[in-house]
Structure 1
Amino acid sequence: MDHRNRWPASRLLVAAVAILIIVCASAITAIALALASLSDARTLLLDQVGPARRITLELDTSLINQETGVRGFALTANREFLAPFTDGKTAEAKAEAGIRAGIQDVRPALLAKLDDIGRKATAWRTAYAEPLILQVQVAGTPQLVENDADRGRALFEEVRAAVADLQNDLNRESDTARDKLNSVANDVLYLSIGLGVLLVLIITGVAIVLHRILIAPLTGLAAQVRLVSEGDFEHAVDATGSRETVMLGQDVDTMRTRILRDVVDLRRSNSELEQFAYVASHDLQEPLRKVASFCQLLERRYSGQLDERGEQYLQFAVDGAKRMQVLINDLLAFSRVGRITREQTVVDCDDLVNQVRDSYSEVIESTGATIESDDLPRVRGEASLLGGVFGNLISNALKFHGEDPPVVRIGVERTGDLWTFTISDNGIGIDAEYAERVFVIFQRLHHKDDYPGTGIGLAMCRKIIEYHGGTIWLDTSVKTGTTFKFTLPVVEDTDE
């Protein structure tokens, strides 16, 4: 399938997020509406119907207090009994106002019953209670007549019946509001649970889709790229999934094809280099040896017959031929590092340093040099190459010494999974500005007549150390002498 017909990952992600937002917005809107209904039901029950129901009880109590006060005053003619009647009327008016405020917006139909209670209470007071009070006040003695009492009781029972009817209606309204509140609360609960389940399902679905269209193809692509990076350049990279993943796979496969071509070219170049190395080590050195030997024969046979300049020319020729031989040998050795490999074994660095001491014993004795060494560890590598590193660094310390006898110090410390070796001396030192230049092949800081050498030793050291998985550098923080440091991987005790 052409990658141009595939959806890009950005569009897939936008689509997934859009679906998630739409579903969540719909669910949140439903929950918001349910919460609004819940708030309305709560207000109806707790702030309107509930208080009106409670105040109705207070209204009934105020009426009973009025009836009790009138009866007590009629039986005793004691004015103190009029207090409940007077206070009851005030409480009645207050209770009626409270009930009206609670139900007039939500249950206006009940206002008619409240008005009926007011009319019947007024009728009871006008037709019975207030005339009886006036009669007792004028006579100054109890004036309760049984017939009047029965008539007043009948009128008051009508008032109580109207109040009871209103209470029953408010009880039913309260039960209805409570049922609605419970229903809406259950709806909110079910919507919340549904939203949670829906979110889990959507997130799971999005995760599965993203895994299939993004993560799985990228994982497969990474596995194929890993095969190529490990050297299987013949493996064709074929990616699936989103447009970006397919395009990335195509780019990687194009890079693999180029690398494969470069590897073929490199192999051919290496073959040619090996042929050149053979020619350089055999065919090229043979003429150089002849030039050097014939120049030496000329020098011996015609010694004294040539003038000073002629003998100097012969010495230049011999010296140049010898230097060319040394340079060719060093170049061959430099080219073989990492290209012609041997089995790596566990090497004792103490043995390598002792071998260097033996090799340079005459120089050590002639210069009065001292080589101090810590207890060095064992590392894994090619003994001949690592011995060359120690040999180059120690020989440089012996070569570039000052007026005092050379003192070479070899130390080591462990840093994580690496050994850090330090080789320092008390010689003439190297300026910090040349810290990198000294590791470049053929870069010399001194004239060949002052200090012999080809300028390839430190470049060889860097190549060998990097071949063994370490790094080497000039420690510019030390101001006296020269200090080189290099690292090598630690060999665990279980390694053999």
Structure 2
Amino acid sequence: MRDYRRHWPASRLLIAAVAILVVVCAATVGSLGASLSGLTDARVVLLDRTLPARSLVRDVDTALINQESGVRGYALTANADFLKPYSDGEQAEHRAVAAARDLIQVTRPDLVGDLDRLDRLATEWRQTYAEPLIAQVRQSGVPQTTVADAERGKQLFDGIRAAGNELGGKLDQAAADARRQLDSVARSQLWLLIGLGVLLVLIIAGVAVVLFRIVIAPLRGLAADVRQVSSGDFAHEVVAGGPRETVMLGQDVEAMRVRILSDVQELRRSNGELEQFAYVASHDLQEPLRKVASFCQLLERRYSGQLDERGEQYLQFAVDGAKRMQVLINDLLAFSRVGRLTREQTLVDCDDLVAQVLDNYSEVIERTHATVEVADLPTVRGEESLLGGVFGNLISNALKFHGEDPPHVRVDVERTGKLWTFTISDNGIGIDTEYAERIFVIFQRLHHKDDYPGTGIGLAMCRKIVEYHGGTIWLDTTQTGPGTTFKFTLPAVEDDEQ
């Protein structure tokens, strides 16, 4: 016998499988978290810093153009309205430069010098060219521009535009790099998700295979062994593997099989003794009874009239006792043979069967002026002689235990699922519901033998026969009217079996 302590319990196997899945899920979540963090950082660099910084540099360029246009217009016209674009552009430039510096310092600190150079060139242009020209025009009140001043201002402003374009180009390149980085992180995350999904599927499949081999397969093998034993092969050994619980269950089933095998052997021995007893009862015991009854009858005939009334009564008691003992022995033998001496079960037409029973009791029916109603009965599978005994016992009881009115017996049937439910009712003396189970116990009589003849085996015999055929029999205690109603079931025969 296997030592179950060497096997892991199913709970530990389940914990191990769950632990593996938890570790894999945790690793999956951690990897996805790191990947999402990298994706978020790449998105922030591109969308929240690089692209806004490039836009702010464009705003600086636009603000400088506005300033240059305002200064040139004011120098050509001496109209103070042209100074508004100049002053607004200067303010816009300062705001854009400050905002761009904050973004560039975080994302591309190497470009802060380029932004400072742009800001310095713009400041120099205003201090060396724009402000002096504005002051000169404001002081004279007339346009004060010359070709030489215009050329100098253009050169200074071209330097500013060149610095701005250079910075913008670098930021464009930075944006392109950030976009490529974002795409790369996104692709990496996609492949990571695919890889983690495949890994998770493989691990789940592996855990499922392992659990099947160490849990399901042993249970399936144990179930197959149990089915083989339950089918009657008690010599088949039950051996279980797998987790500790399965091994322990297999050991319990094996111990039960050994006990059942021992009981079967003991039952066979007991059946052999019962068969020997049946042989003795049918031959050795009945022979003395026949002799007693025969000689008592001889004494009765030979010495009839020579014995007093008491003597003749004693002889009648002896003959009656011997005959009743013979009937009792025959009934006991018949009861013991039900289910033990089996014959081939055939299709039995219950209509014909009940007709034969009624023919056997035709004298009783005529003497008691009984009426018997029989419904259209089905065909069932069983031993015809045994089923005839069931109908015979129940109908004879209905004819025997009648009241003052002539017996009225009704045989009905109805289909209930896979069973036929037969009903035999009468208008007789009835049975109290408290005796509903007692009447099916052997030798349990509700009346004295002098009131109603019989051995008290009939209903017990009916129960044994009906249960042998796969049905049940009971007293219908729901009946409210007079009489008695017995019901019993028999398996229905499918159409293709008829």
TM-score relative to the length of structure 1 = 0.90
Task: Find the counterpart in structure 2 of residue 129 from structure 1.
Answer: 130
Label 1:260 to 1:163 Cα distance change in 2 as closer, same or farther (>3 A): same
Task: Find the counterpart in structure 2 of residue 56 from structure 1.
Answer: 57
Instruction: Give the deviation of 1:21 after TM superposition.
Output: 2.5
Cα distance between partner residues in 2 of 1:190 and 1:473: 73
For residues 104-253 of structure 1, the aligned pairs below 5 Å read: 104-253=105-254
Deviations 1:107-165 (A, max 9, x none): 34433433333333232223222333333344443333222222222222232233223
Instruction: Give the deviation of 1:345 after TM superposition.
Output: 0.9
Label 1:430 to 1:123 Cα distance change in 2 as closer, same or farther (>3 A): farther
For residues 305-384 of structure 1, the aligned pairs below 5 Å read: 305-306=307-308, 314-384=315-385
Task: Find the counterpart in structure 1 of residue 480 from structure 2.
Answer: 479
| Secondary structure of the corresponding residue to residue 412 of structure 1 | strand
Deviates more, 1:379-388 or 1:15-24: 15-24
1:495 partner letter = E
Label 1:427 to 1:89 Cα distance change in 2 as closer, same or farther (>3 A): farther
2:373 partner letter = E
Label 1:157 to 1:356 Cα distance change in 2 as closer, same or farther (>3 A): same
Deviates more, 1:431-440 or 1:46-55: 431-440
Cα distance between partner residues in 2 of 1:139 and 1:448: 156
Label 1:120 to 1:276 Cα distance change in 2 as closer, same or farther (>3 A): same
Cα distance between partner residues in 2 of 1:324 and 1:100: 125
Instruction: Give the deviation of 1:376 after TM superposition.
Output: 1.2
| Secondary structure of the corresponding residue to residue 494 of structure 1 | helix
Task: Find the counterpart in structure 2 of residue 390 from structure 1.
Answer: 391
2:180 partner letter = D
Task: Find the counterpart in structure 2 of residue 270 from structure 1.
Answer: 271
Please tell me whether residue 421 in structure 1 is matched to residue 422 in structure 2.
Answer: yes
| Secondary structure of the corresponding residue to residue 248 of structure 1 | helix
1:365 partner letter = E
Cα distance between partner residues in 2 of 1:433 and 1:173: 101
Label 1:439 to 1:70 Cα distance change in 2 as closer, same or farther (>3 A): farther
From 481, 487, 493, give the equivalent of 1:491.
493
| Secondary structure of the corresponding residue to residue 210 of structure 1 | helix
Cα distance between partner residues in 2 of 1:276 and 1:331: 11
Label 1:358 to 1:161 Cα distance change in 2 as closer, same or farther (>3 A): same
Structure 1 unpaired stretches of 5+: none
Instruction: Give the deviation of 1:361 after TM superposition.
Output: 1.6
Cα distance between partner residues in 2 of 1:31 and 1:487: 67
Label 1:433 to 1:141 Cα distance change in 2 as closer, same or farther (>3 A): farther
Structure 1 vs Structure 2 CA RMSD: 2.6
Please tell me whether residue 449 in structure 1 is matched to residue 450 in structure 2.
Answer: yes
Cα distance between partner residues in 2 of 1:409 and 1:64: 119
Instruction: Give the deviation of 1:340 after TM superposition.
Output: 0.4
Cα distance between partner residues in 2 of 1:478 and 1:93: 108
Cα distance between partner residues in 2 of 1:109 and 1:365: 127
| Secondary structure of the corresponding residue to residue 473 of structure 1 | strand
Deviations 1:393-426 (A, max 9, x none): 2222222334433332222222332222222233
Task: Find the counterpart in structure 1 of residue 431 from structure 2.
Answer: 430
Is the Cα contact below 8 Å between 1:24 and 1:195 reproduced in 2? no
Cα distance between partner residues in 1 of 2:317 and 2:227: 56
| Secondary structure of the corresponding residue to residue 106 of structure 2 | coil
2:89 partner letter = G
Deviates more, 1:273-282 or 1:318-327: 318-327
Cα distance between partner residues in 1 of 2:132 and 2:477: 122
Instruction: Give the deviation of 1:489 after TM superposition.
Output: 1.9
Instruction: Give the deviation of 1:54 after TM superposition.
Output: 2.1
Label 1:349 to 1:73 Cα distance change in 2 as closer, same or farther (>3 A): same
Cα distance between partner residues in 1 of 2:468 and 2:258: 27
Label 1:473 to 1:136 Cα distance change in 2 as closer, same or farther (>3 A): farther
For residues 407-418 of structure 1, the aligned pairs below 5 Å read: 407-418=408-419
Cα distance between partner residues in 1 of 2:444 and 2:283: 26
Label 1:398 to 1:60 Cα distance change in 2 as closer, same or farther (>3 A): farther
Task: Find the counterpart in structure 2 of residue 17 from structure 1.
Answer: 18
Cα distance between partner residues in 2 of 1:88 and 1:69: 9
Label 1:450 to 1:157 Cα distance change in 2 as closer, same or farther (>3 A): farther
Instruction: Give the deviation of 1:268 after TM superposition.
Output: 1.3
Cα distance between partner residues in 2 of 1:102 and 1:395: 111
Label 1:84 to 1:357 Cα distance change in 2 as closer, same or farther (>3 A): same
Instruction: Give the deviation of 1:350 after TM superposition.
Output: 0.4
Cα distance between partner residues in 2 of 1:403 and 1:59: 127
Label 1:435 to 1:80 Cα distance change in 2 as closer, same or farther (>3 A): farther
Cα distance between partner residues in 1 of 2:338 and 2:460: 11
Q: What percentage of residue pairs aligned between the two structures are identical?
A: 70
Instruction: Give the deviation of 1:177 after TM superposition.
Output: 2.1
Cα distance between partner residues in 2 of 1:17 and 1:486: 54
Please tell me whether residue 254 in structure 1 is matched to residue 255 in structure 2.
Answer: yes
Task: Find the counterpart in structure 2 of residue 27 from structure 1.
Answer: 28
2:443 partner letter = F
Instruction: Give the deviation of 1:307 after TM superposition.
Output: 5.4
Deviates more, 1:453-462 or 1:271-280: 453-462
Instruction: Give the deviation of 1:45 after TM superposition.
Output: 1.6
Instruction: Give the deviation of 1:274 after TM superposition.
Output: 0.7
| Secondary structure of the corresponding residue to residue 486 of structure 2 | strand
Label 1:154 to 1:400 Cα distance change in 2 as closer, same or farther (>3 A): farther
Instruction: Give the deviation of 1:336 after TM superposition.
Output: 0.6
Instruction: Give the deviation of 1:375 after TM superposition.
Output: 1.6
Structure 2 unpaired stretches of 5+: none
Cα distance between partner residues in 1 of 2:313 and 2:77: 161
